[in-house]
Amino acid sequence: MLAALGACALAALTAVPAHAAGFAIFEQGAKAQGMAGAFTAQADDPSMLFFNPGGLGLVGKSDFSLGLTEVHGTKADFHGAAPFPGPNASGQQKLLEQPLPHAYWVLPITNTWKFGIGLNTPFGLTTEWKNPDQFPGRYLSTKAAIRDIDVNPTLGWQITPTMGLGIGVIARVTDLELKRDIPAADPFTQSIVNVGRVDLKADTKTGYGWDIGFLDRYNNSFSWGVAYRSRVKVDYTGSATLTQLPTGNPQFDAIVAAQTPFNQKLPVKTSIDFPDMANLGLAFGLSPDLLLETDVYWMGWTSFKEVNITFPDGQLPNSTIPANWKNAYSYRAGLRWTTSPTSQWRFGYVYDQTPQPEEAVNPLLPDANRNGLTLGYGWTGAHKFDIALLYLDFAKRSRHKTFAGDATFSGTYDTKALLLGATFTW
């Protein structure tokens, strides 16, 4: 029984990056963030390498950008429901404070051919629960984290003075971590008790993909663009360490120790298909000083149906865990107001769908549909500086359904967050 619980813990780890809306980070440049990520049809600063590499084909001079997006949670609560853990159960996440860097360099090679390279963090974040020893979901997760850096060299081609095409390669460097408690039924007290902790760490691994984008600045009043980023598969290896916790009953502790491989690094293998993404943007010049852009993003998660966990040494049983993600859409609109040759204000709205089915909502990542509002400002002089603030309001998400054979954990999650981005370009 304890070995099977260890396998379930590893399976939970692999679900962390699979929540495309919840852990996909679109804020990869402050100029675009100020317009809620509606930037596909503009793509006029170095962050184009993430939003639409087609803009690289129209680059006329060398630029280097360096920036940071600070993710700050303002609320992350859980309230339980029947049948388990019950209406009196509750928990709070540690409020997230996580900086996510980005950097870009673009330059013309000739009048027709251009080169760029980007570093960004399209997947990342951490969920960690306060008072882990008392949290009712501690057998599912007390901490889950994913770290990711994408390296994205790109070649741009200026097809005409107003049309650009860009094609790039993506190298995704990533690792994973999960912590949770292990329960067992104590036959002496007829109760469920903590008998151990599992700490799972995946080694840093790299997966590869590609991206392509097209931009047409048709005239001063209209431009449009389209981009695609491929799916990236990462094959992970790592280890799980199980640590025994004393229950106060030496006889029961001895039984548990005899059945469970404590204090060993147990090798494990799994793989994850990070989603592909397509985006379309239309930009309209309402006046010489006002521009409106609308974007639609699509992320392909229907391929994420299950996760296979393998223990090469056979100390824990292999397992297959259902996921059943759905494709997700994101709708974005941004307004750009140029108040002077050196100053711009930006405003935006975003609506993100979640790909996570109700049966999969749990303390690892309680994802939900969300609405977001953005405010941004840009200053242009000898250099450029952009700053943006995004407020994300997650819809309350409840779980009352469970996959066949999965553990019941019912309740409602309520989450809100702020993202502050800043980018310096010279």
pLDDT in tens, 111-143: 999 999 999 999 877 889 999 988 999 988 899
What is the domain range of residue 256?
2-425
HSE-CB for 190 with a 13 A CA cutoff: 0
CB under 8 A, 24+ apart: contacts of 58-62: 58/156, 58/158, 58/162, 58/163, 58/164, 58/215, 58/217, 59/106, 59/107, 59/108, 59/114, 59/116, 59/156, 60/108, 61/107, 61/108, 62/105, 62/106, 62/107, 62/108
Backbone angles phi and psi of 370, in degrees to 5: -145, 150
Check residue 51 and give its pLDDT: 97
- Whose CA is closest to 346, among 359, 358, 356, 337? 337
Q: DSSP states of 250-276 as a string?
A: HHHHHHHHHHS-TTSEEEEEEEEEEPE
User: Binning pLDDT at 50, 70 and 90, where does residue 14 land?
Assistant: very low
Each residue of 52-69: b (16+ CB within 10 Å) or e? Answer: bbbbbbbbeeebebbbbb
d(CA 51, CA 32): 8
Report whether pLDDT(365) > 80. no
User: Binning pLDDT at 50, 70 and 90, where does residue 21 land?
Assistant: low
Question: Cis ω on the peptide bond leading into residue 83 (within 30° of 0)?
Answer: yes
Handedness of CA 353, 180, 175, 239 (dihedral sign): negative
Question: Which neighbouring-strand residues pair with 262?
Answer: none
User: Binning pLDDT at 50, 70 and 90, where does residue 405 land?
Assistant: confident
Domain with residue 117: its CATH number is: 2.40.160.60
Backbone angles phi and psi of 385, in degrees to 5: -135, 130
Tens digits of per-residue pLDDT, 34-60? 999 999 999 999 999 999 999 999 999
Task: With 0.85 as the threshold, say if the pTM is over it.
Answer: yes
Query: Looking up tokens 């692999």, which residue turns up?
Result: 14
Query: Looking up tokens 């296979």, which residue turns up?
Result: 308
The residue type of 203 is D
- Whose CA is closest to 116, among 50, 162, 42? 50
Of the ranges 12-21, 144-153, 170-179, 280-289, the best mean pLDDT one: 280-289
Backbone angles phi and psi of 18, in degrees to 5: -80, -5
For 13, the enclosing helix (H) or strand (E) is helix 2-14
Residues 6+ away with beta carbon under 8 Å from 85: 136, 137, 409, 410, 411
CA-CA distances (angstroms) from residue 364 to 90, 126, 296? 15, 9, 28
Domain count, the chain: 1
Report whether pLDDT(18) > 50. no
Average pLDDT over residues 9-38: 68
| Average pLDDT for the chain | 90
User: Binning pLDDT at 50, 70 and 90, where does residue 11 land?
Assistant: very low
d(CA 328, CA 45): 27
Burial tier of 339 (Cβ tally within 10 Å: 0-12, 13-18, 19+): exposed
d(CA 349, CA 344): 17
Check residue 270 and give its pLDDT: 83
HSE-CB for 383 with a 13 A CA cutoff: 9
Check residue 17 and give its pLDDT: 37
CA-CA distances (angstroms) from residue 381 to 33, 43, 83, 361, 376? 20, 20, 61, 47, 17
Task: State percent of the chain over pLDDT 90.
Answer: 66
Query: Looking up tokens 């005899």, which residue turns up?
Result: 258
d(CA 253, CA 249): 6
Report whether pLDDT(23) > 80. no
Tens digits of per-residue pLDDT, 370-401? 999 999 999 999 999 999 999 999 999 999 99
Average pLDDT over residues 260-284: 91
Q: 374 and 350 in contact (C-beta within 8 Å)? A: yes
